[in-house]
């Protein structure tokens, strides 16, 4: 006979396995929170200066123009001699 996966014994084994996994997860969570010292976190202050943002955009545009004007390779000439 084949083992029925939905028999009472199998369901009991599935539930015990599930409970075991859950308890392991809970124990790891408790262990990680107990031994983790929380230090005071200083809040970060972001200085948003719109002139700096505009200047950075202008710098990016200038860099893009420079890259277009200066190439790293020369095109092959197609002149026939």
CA atoms within 13 A on the CB side of 10: 6
Distance CA 26, CA 23 (A): 5
What's the confidence (pLDDT) of residue 4?
80
What's the confidence (pLDDT) of residue 13?
93
Cβ 20 vs Cβ 27: under 8 Å: no
Domain coordinates in residue numbering, the chain: 1-35
pLDDT tens for residues 6-28? Answer: 888 889 999 999 999 999 999 99
What's the pTM value of the predicted model, to 2 decimals?
0.42
What's the confidence (pLDDT) of residue 28?
93
- The number of angstroms, rounded, from the C-alpha of 62 to the middle of its chain's C-alpha atoms is 32
In this prediction, the residues of the chain whose per-residue pLDDT falls under 70 are 1-2, 47, 49-54, 68-81
Please, which residues have CB within 8 angstroms of residue 10's CB and are 6 or more apart in sequence?
A: 3, 4
């Amino acid at each position: 006979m084949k083992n029925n996966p939905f028999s009472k014994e199998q369901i009991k084994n599935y539930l015990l396995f599930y409970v075991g996994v859950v308890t392991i997860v809970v124990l790891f969570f408790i262990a990680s929170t107990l031994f983790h010292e929380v230090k005071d976190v200083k809040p970060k202050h972001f200085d948003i200066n719109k002139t700096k943002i505009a200047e950075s955009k202008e710098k990016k545009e200038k860099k893009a123009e420079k890259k277009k004007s200066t190439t790293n390779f020369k095109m092959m000439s197609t002149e026939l001699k």
